[in-house]
Structure 1
Amino acid sequence: MRKMNILVVTGKLASNTVKASVNGGADVLVLDIEVAAFTTPALLRRSLPPKKYDLILIPGLANGDFPGLEKEVGIPIRLGPKHAVDLGFVLSFSEGLDFSSSIPACELLTEKKRSSAFQKVFELEQTADSSLSLKSVKIGGNSRMKVMAEIVDAGSMNKNELTKKIIYFVERGADIIDLGISLDTSIGMVRTAVETARSVTDIPLSIDTLDPDSINEAVDAGIDIVLSLNSKNIDEVKDKIIRHHTASVLIPDQTGDIESLFQNIRSAQDSGIRNIIADPVLEPAGHGLTQSINRYYEFRKRDRSTPLFFGLGNMTELVDADSIGIHAILSSIAMELDANILFTPEFSHKAHDSVNELKTASMMMMLSRDRKSAPKDLGVDMLVIKEKRRREFGLMPGSIIEAKGSEKWQLDPAGCFKIELTDDMIHNNKVIPGKIIVRNVIDKDNPIAGSAAKEILDTIIERGLISRLDHAAYLGRELMKAEIALKFKRSYSQDDKF
C-alpha cells in the first residue's frame, strides 16, 4: 500500500516544533506568519508548492473557509491537531483516520479511539464465558470485572434517599448495587430496602450483613447476592439461599485465615449452595495489605474457577490520597489475580466518584488482557491531572516587567456577586450535573446558572451587571476556579485558594 503524501502547514513560531514532531513523516510548509492559527486560504494558496499531495493538514485552531481552495487545488484540506507536539502522534494514524474540516485531528482521534475501545469491550463481554450470570450480568470466567457499589446503611434510608442513591450509582456505572445493613436495622426495614431497590433498577442486588435474620429476609425479598457468609451464619441461612438459588460471597472466619475460607466454601458446597464467590478480604495499608494480596494469590493458585470478590473500599477509604490512582493500581492487581467483582462503598468525600473510576478501570483491564499489553494507549484512560504529551513551554524573554498585585480595591457600582456550586441532582430518574450559580447582590432575584466560566461571564457582561475591569478580571478568576471545581467534582468556596 502506497504511503500517503501529506503536507503539514504551520507558522514561523511553531516551525521547529512541527518539524521535530513530524520527523520526516510528512512535508512541512512554513507560511510567512508568526502564529499558525492565523492561516488563511489566500495565504496558503500563495505558498503552496507544485508537488501533488494526498492531504494538506492545516493547524487545528485555524478557522478560515478552506472548501473553495480545496476544490481549486483538488487536494483535501483538513484540520490537524491543535498542538504541534501532537503531529507525530496524529500522523501515525493517518492511513486509517478520516480527517475532518471542522474537528481538530487530535479530538477526532481521541473520540475515535474511545468509541472503538467501548465497542471492543462490548464485543468481548458479549462473547465472554462466566461462572454465573445474575440478571444477565456475567460474573467470573473471562468476563469484565464487575463494579459493586455499596450503599452504606441502606436499611435506614427513606425510599426517596435510597432511590436517588441507586439512580446515581447506576448512572455512574455500577454493575451491582449492594445494600449495606447495620445490625440495628429491623427486618421490616431490610425488606423495604430490597423492594425499593428492585423497583428502581433491574441490575443485580446484594446485601451486606452478618445477621442471619436480615439475610433470610433479604433472600425472601428477592436479593441476588448475599455477602459475608462464614461458619457462624451459614447454617441459619443456607436453606433459603438454596431454595432461591441466591449467589453467596464466602469469607474467612478470621482475617488472614485462608484455610477457613476454603473450609467455608466446602461446607457451602456440601450443603447445596452452588453460586459461590470467594472473598479472602483485602486489608488496608498498614494493616496487612501485602499479606492480604498474597492470600488472593494463594487462593487463585489453588482454585482457578471460583469468582473472586475484591474489596477495594478497605484500601481507598483508609488512605489520604486521590482515589483514581489507587483504583488504577488495585484494579491492575485484581486483573492479574483474576478477580471478578470490584467493591466500593464510595462513602467518604475523598472517595467520591469511585464507582465511575472503577468502571473505567475494569474496561481498561479487559482491553489490556485482550491485547496482552500494559494498560496504556487503549483509547480509554484514567488520566485526570497528568498528561501523556506535554505541550511546548515558552521561553523566558531577556527583558521582563515583574508582575505585582495591587493593594487598591474599589467596589463595583454595578454590584458584587456571590458564586456557588450546586451538587448533582436526581430529576425524573436522571442525574442532572451540578451548575455554577452566580447572584448579583443588586439583581439577586435573577441568578445566572451555567457550566463554563466564559458563558457566565459573557451573560453578566451582556446584561450590564459589571462596570469595572478589575471586577471583571476578578470574576474571571473565580469563575474559572468554580468551573475547574465542577469538572473535578470538588467543592468550591469563593475567595478561598483552590
Structure 2
Amino acid sequence: MADVPRILFVTGKLAEPALRRVLADLAPRAGFEAEIAVLPITVAALMTTDWVSRHLPPFQPVSRVVLPGYCRGETEPVAKATSAPTELGPKDLRDLPEHFGKRSGPPAGYGTFDIEILAEINGAQKMTRDALVALARRYRADGADVIDFGCDPGATWTGVGDAVRALRDDGARVSIDSFDPAEVESALAAGAELVLSVKGINLADARRWHEQFGNVEVVAIPDTPDDLASLDRTVEQLAAWGVKFRIDPILEPIGFGFAASLGRYIEVRKKYPDAEMMLGVGNLTELTDVDSAGVNVILAGFCQELGIRSVLTTEVINWARSSVKEFDFARRLVHHAIAERVLPKRVEPNLVLLRDPKLQELGQETLEELARRVTDRNYRLFAERGELHVINGQMYLRGTDPFALFAEMQARDPKLDAAHAFYLGYEFAKAVTALTLGKNYTQDQALRWGFLTIPEVSRHT
C-alpha cells in the first residue's frame, strides 16, 4: 500500500481553528495527512512568500506545501525552504475541498430521490417548435422528469400532436394538461403518457382513452377542491375500468383554503394508502409574494412525508423562474432527511440563496493590526458588522456610505486612476450587497447565491 502523502498547510493565528475544522473532514476523504504550520502573524493575507520561508517552524518532511491564497510573491522561496513543491491554495478556506477535487457539503450517498417532477410549459401553443424543444431541454437539465403541456381554455390547439411528437423525438416524456378531448387525444396519439386531469365532466373520456391508447395514465381530481366525495366517485370508476391513475386533491392558495387543502391530502392518503398521488405547487409558488425556493422545500417535505411521488411545477412569474431546479435540489434534501432521520440542515448549500449560513468576521482588532502592518498601495476591502472597511499603506477608512469613502480615497490618493476606480466601485457594490443581505464578502470573489452563484474571474491586477 502506498504511503499517504503528507501536506503542510501554512496559516496565521486567526484562521487556524477554521483550517483545522476543514482539514479534519477533508484529509480522510482526499487521502492525505495534514500538518498545519501556524506562523507568528494574525492575518494570513499579510504574508509574503519570503517572510513565510524565514518563519516556518520545525516540521516533518512533507510531499507538498499549501500557502494561503492571499499570500504574495513567488512560491520558490518556500519550496526551497521546505524541499517540497509549493502552491497557493484558495483565497477562501471553504473552497479547500474543491481545491483537492472533493466537493464539500452533502455526505456520501446524498442525492437519492423518489419524487417525479412534471415541468409545465405555459402557453406552449404560442411558441415555435424550436423554442418548445429548447425550453423542454432546459427543464430536463434542471431536473424535470416529464414535460407538461399546459393548454389554454378556448379554441382547440390543433398543433398539439406535432408539439408532443417534437419533444418525444428529442427524448422527452410528455404529459397533457387539458379538458379538451380533441387536444388530449391528439397528444396521446403522438406519445403523451399522462393526462391532467380527470373529474366528473370528462370521466367517460378516460375510459375511451384507456381502450384506445392502452397504458394511458390520468390524474384524478375532485369536481371542486373541497368535494372529496366526487373524487371518491372518480377514483372508484377509474379503478373499475382498470384505468391507471394518480390522485391530486388540489392545493389551494393561501387565503382560499390552503390549510384545509393540506388536510385533504392527508385525508386522501389515509383512505388510499397505496395510491399514487400528485401535488401541484404552482398555487403557492406562483401566487405568493415570496421567493419560491423556500416554498418548494416545504412542499417537498410535505410530499416526502406523505408519500406523494409526483409534483407539477411552473416557472411563469419571475420570482419562481428557477422552480424546477429548486425542487430538484429540494427533493434530494428531504429524501435524505427522512431516510436518514436527520434534520435538513447544513446539508444542501445550493438552496441557501439570500443569506449565508454563517457570517465570518475578522474583528476590529485584527483589522486595526492589518492597517498597521500594510505598507503597499493595494486596497483591501472588508465588509462586516454593518460597515465597509478600506485599508492600504496610506489609510484605514471605515463607514457605511461607499460614496463618502471613495471621495476620501480620492482626496488621499491622487494616483487613483479610472481603471482602479471602476474596480473599487464594483467591489464596493458587492460589499454593500453583502452587508444589506447578511452575506460574506471576500474581495475578488463572487458573493455566494447557492446554485445561482456565477463564479467570478477577477481581472484586477
Among candidates 189, 195, 207, match of residue 220 of structure 1 = 189
Whether 1:59 and 2:60 are equivalent positions in the alignment is no
SS in 2 for 1:318: coil
Aligned equivalents of 1:230 and 1:155: distance in 2? Answer: 24
Q: CA RMSD in A?
A: 4.3
Whether 1:290 and 2:259 are equivalent positions in the alignment is yes
Paired AA for residue 10 in structure 1 = T
- The change in CA–CA distance for 1:107 and 1:191 in structure 2 (over 3 A counts) is same
- The change in CA–CA distance for 1:190 and 1:400 in structure 2 (over 3 A counts) is closer
SS in 1 for 2:274: coil
Whether 1:337 and 2:306 are equivalent positions in the alignment is yes
1:284-330 alpha-carbon deviations (Å, 9 max, x no partner): 11222222112212222232322221111111111111111111121
- The change in CA–CA distance for 1:214 and 1:404 in structure 2 (over 3 A counts) is closer
Paired AA for residue 157 in structure 1 = M
Aligned equivalents of 1:469 and 1:9: distance in 2? Answer: 31
Contact 1:147 1:176 in 2 (8 A): yes
Aligned equivalents of 1:291 and 1:34: distance in 2? Answer: 58
Whether 1:388 and 2:397 are equivalent positions in the alignment is no
Q: What is the match of residue 322 of structure 2?
A: 353
- Length-normalised TM-score, structure 1: 0.65
SS in 2 for 1:307: coil
Contact 2:14 2:42 in 1 (8 A): no
Whether 1:31 and 2:21 are equivalent positions in the alignment is no
CA drift at 1:45: 4.1
Aligned equivalents of 1:184 and 1:21: distance in 2? Answer: 63
Contact 1:149 1:176 in 2 (8 A): yes
Aligned equivalents of 2:304 and 2:76: distance in 1? Answer: 49
Whether 1:258 and 2:266 are equivalent positions in the alignment is no
Aligned equivalents of 1:469 and 1:47: distance in 2? Answer: 33
- The change in CA–CA distance for 1:284 and 1:35 in structure 2 (over 3 A counts) is same
Q: What is the match of residue 158 of structure 1?
A: 128
Paired AA for residue 189 in structure 2 = D
- The change in CA–CA distance for 1:297 and 1:82 in structure 2 (over 3 A counts) is farther
Aligned equivalents of 2:194 and 2:264: distance in 1? Answer: 23
Paired AA for residue 297 in structure 2 = A
Among candidates 185, 204, 207, match of residue 155 of structure 2 = 185
Contact 1:207 1:218 in 2 (8 A): yes
CA drift at 1:247: 1.4
Aligned equivalents of 1:266 and 1:353: distance in 2? Answer: 37
Among candidates 50, 58, 69, match of residue 50 of structure 1 = 58
Contact 1:278 1:309 in 2 (8 A): yes
Whether 1:324 and 2:333 are equivalent positions in the alignment is no
Moved more, 473-482 or 247-256: 473-482
Unpaired segments ≥5 residues, structure 2: 25-33, 369-395, 408-416, 434-445, 454-461
CA drift at 1:240: 2.0
Aligned equivalents of 1:401 and 1:211: distance in 2? Answer: 65
SS in 2 for 1:188: coil
CA drift at 1:210: 1.8
Aligned equivalents of 2:258 and 2:100: distance in 1? Answer: 39
Contact 1:252 1:258 in 2 (8 A): yes
Aligned equivalents of 2:303 and 2:402: distance in 1? Answer: 51
Q: What is the match of residue 379 of structure 2?
A: none
Aligned equivalents of 2:354 and 2:191: distance in 1? Answer: 42
Paired AA for residue 9 in structure 1 = V
Paired AA for residue 165 in structure 1 = L
Aligned equivalents of 1:154 and 1:328: distance in 2? Answer: 27
Q: What is the match of residue 18 of structure 1?
A: 16
Aligned equivalents of 1:240 and 1:172: distance in 2? Answer: 31
CA drift at 1:169: 1.9
- The change in CA–CA distance for 1:368 and 1:20 in structure 2 (over 3 A counts) is closer
- The change in CA–CA distance for 1:472 and 1:225 in structure 2 (over 3 A counts) is same
SS in 2 for 1:167: helix
SS in 2 for 1:214: helix
CA drift at 1:229: 0.6
Contact 1:150 1:345 in 2 (8 A): yes
CA drift at 1:392: 1.3
- The change in CA–CA distance for 1:20 and 1:188 in structure 2 (over 3 A counts) is closer
- The change in CA–CA distance for 1:381 and 1:478 in structure 2 (over 3 A counts) is closer
Aligned equivalents of 1:63 and 1:377: distance in 2? Answer: 33
Q: What is the match of residue 364 of structure 1?
A: 333
Q: Map of 1:37-436 to 2, 5 A cutoff?
A: 37-40=45-48, 42-52=50-60, 58-62=67-71, 73=82, 82-83=91-92, 104-108=95-99, 111-113=102-104, 120-121=110-111, 124=112, 144-199=114-169, 201-244=170-213, 245-274=215-244, 276-378=245-347, 381-395=350-364, 405=403
SS in 1 for 2:143: coil
- The change in CA–CA distance for 1:112 and 1:27 in structure 2 (over 3 A counts) is closer
Aligned equivalents of 2:100 and 2:420: distance in 1? Answer: 40
Moved more, 105-114 or 212-221: 105-114
Contact 1:79 1:105 in 2 (8 A): no
- The change in CA–CA distance for 1:239 and 1:257 in structure 2 (over 3 A counts) is same
CA drift at 1:189: 2.6
Count of residues in Structure 1 that have an aligned counterpart in Structure 2: 388
SS in 2 for 1:232: helix
- The change in CA–CA distance for 1:51 and 1:153 in structure 2 (over 3 A counts) is closer
Report sequence identity in percent.
Answer: 27
Contact 2:66 2:86 in 1 (8 A): yes
- The change in CA–CA distance for 1:479 and 1:389 in structure 2 (over 3 A counts) is closer
Contact 1:9 1:29 in 2 (8 A): yes
